[in-house]
Amino acid sequence: MFVIAPGIDTESLLAHACESLASASVLASDFAGCLEGPQRNTMLAIQQIIMLGELAVNRALDNIDPQG
């Protein structure tokens, strides 16, 4: 299974999650551009859910380091 370095801090984990979500959002948006009809709408909905996750992770990072 996927193992993360045991000593890694929460801020680093959240920063990595944020970057991964941002990449997934771009990929989903680009892919939606290749689709039409209901499939496009579904992919755009998935992209929006990814973006909301990214916003939540950004907020968590702000809570950890409000001045950062």
**Residue 3 belongs to a domain:** no
Query: Is 29 a member of any domain?
Result: yes
Q: Give the range of the structural domain holding residue 49, as residue numbers without chain letter.
A: 12-62
Count Cβ atoms below 10 Å from residue 43 Cβ, excluding itself: 19
| 17 in any annotated domain | yes
In a domain, 2, yes or no: no
Q: How many structural domains compose the chain?
A: 1
Query: Is the pLDDT score of 62 beyond 60?
Result: yes
In tens, the pLDDT along 2-55 reads 677 888 898 999 999 999 999 999 999 999 999 999 999 999 999 999 999 999
Burial tier of 50 (Cβ tally within 10 Å: 0-12, 13-18, 19+) = buried
What is the pTM assigned to this prediction? 0.82
Residue 41 domain-assigned (yes or no): yes
Q: What is the mean pLDDT of the chain?
A: 91
